[in-house]
Amino acid sequence: MGQEQQDGEEYLFKIVLIGDSAVGKSNLLSRFARNEFDSNSKATIGVEFQTQAVEIDGKEVKAQIWDTAGQERFRAVTSAYYRGAVGALVVYDITRRSSFDSVKRWLDELSIHCDTAVARMLVGNKCDLENIRDVSTEEGKSLAEEEGLFFMETSALDATNVQTAFEIVIREIHNNISRKVL
Ligand code: GDP
Ligand code: MG
């Protein structure tokens, strides 16, 4: 899983969502996969994934996007969760600095379990909550630059940049596979 399936023109990419609890991972996924937002979403129970087809350069690719088991403490996300991932969205909440401070530890976790060529995007979610922002856009940007990540601020609530964030990661995976670095 996670590697491209070369039966005909079909590709399947495994992408994982990581980041502290309640940053909006499940809602980013439901916004992307079903264009839905759930304001009462409870902590995610059990590992779940959604498969979403995306067209890249006229070719259909399928992204299998994994959402955590609601056990988003360090080391509690198991290696099975990361296994075979070729892309990752590392999510924090722009209104909660502690979730931004956790990003480096999530990146460490990712590097323990996955190849360094994994396409990685830093996602500052809840950008609709500008009035209670706790992490500036510049801070997000400079951390992303330091760590060599793509960066985007999103809102699962109003759909800002959600599609774009996933598509950038999927496109990068596609490029990595074409260049055979993955
Ligand atoms: P997860 O634990 O990372 O999967 O986070 P959830 O997707 O369950 O979201 C946690 C809480 O944040 C829920 O109450 C959501 O309604 C809320 N939430 C998620 N994304 C956004 C967003 O973009 N904007 C706002 N205002 N709230 C959000
Ligand atoms: Mg969740």
Instruction: State the SS3 of 8-62.
Output: CCCEEEEEEEECCCCCCHHHHHHHHHHCCCCCCCCCCCCCEEEEEEEEECCEEEE
Query: What pLDDT, on the 0 to 100 scale, is given for residue 9?
Result: 52
Please check the confidence at residue 119 and state whether its pLDDT lies above 90: yes
Q: What are the residues whose beta carbon lies below 5 Å from ligand 2 (ion)?
A: 25-26, 44
Query: What is the pLDDT, as a whole number, of residue 76?
Result: 65
Q: Phi/psi of residue 6, each to 5°? A: -100, 40
Looking at the chain, the whole-number percentage of residues with pLDDT higher than 70 is: 85
Q: Which ligand is nearest to the CA of 99?
A: 1
Nearest CA to ligand 1 atom 25: 126
**pLDDT given at position 5:** 46
The atom number, within ligand 1, closest to the CA of 17 reads 3
Pocket of ligand 1 (CB under 6 A): 21-27, 39, 41, 43-44, 125-126, 128-129, 155-157
How remote is the CA of residue 49 from the centroid of ligand 2, in Å?
A: 11
Percent of the chain with pLDDT over 90: 64
Q: What is the reported pLDDT for 7?
A: 46
Pick from 27, 92, 94 the residue to mutate for probing ligand 1's pocket: most ligand atoms within 8 Å of its CB.
27
pLDDT digits (tens, 9 = 90+) for 134-176: 999 999 999 999 999 999 999 999 999 999 999 999 999 988 8
What is the residue with the minimal CA distance to atom 24 of ligand 1?
126
Q: How many A from CA of 82 to the centre of ligand 1?
A: 22
Of 4-13, 108-117, 132-141, give the range with the top mean pLDDT.
132-141
**In the structure, what pLDDT confidence band is assigned to residue 4 with cuts at 50, 70 and 90?**
very low
CB-count exposure of residue 45 (10 Å: 0-12, 13-18, 19+): exposed
Which of the four pLDDT bands, split at 50, 70 and 90, describes residue 75? Answer: low
Per-residue model confidence (pLDDT) at position 82:
92
Which of the four pLDDT bands, split at 50, 70 and 90, describes residue 42? Answer: low
CA 94 to ligand 2 center in whole angstroms? 17
Model-level pTM?
Answer: 0.91
The ligand whose atoms approach the alpha carbon of 159 most closely is 1
Q: Does an H or E element contain 96, and which?
A: none
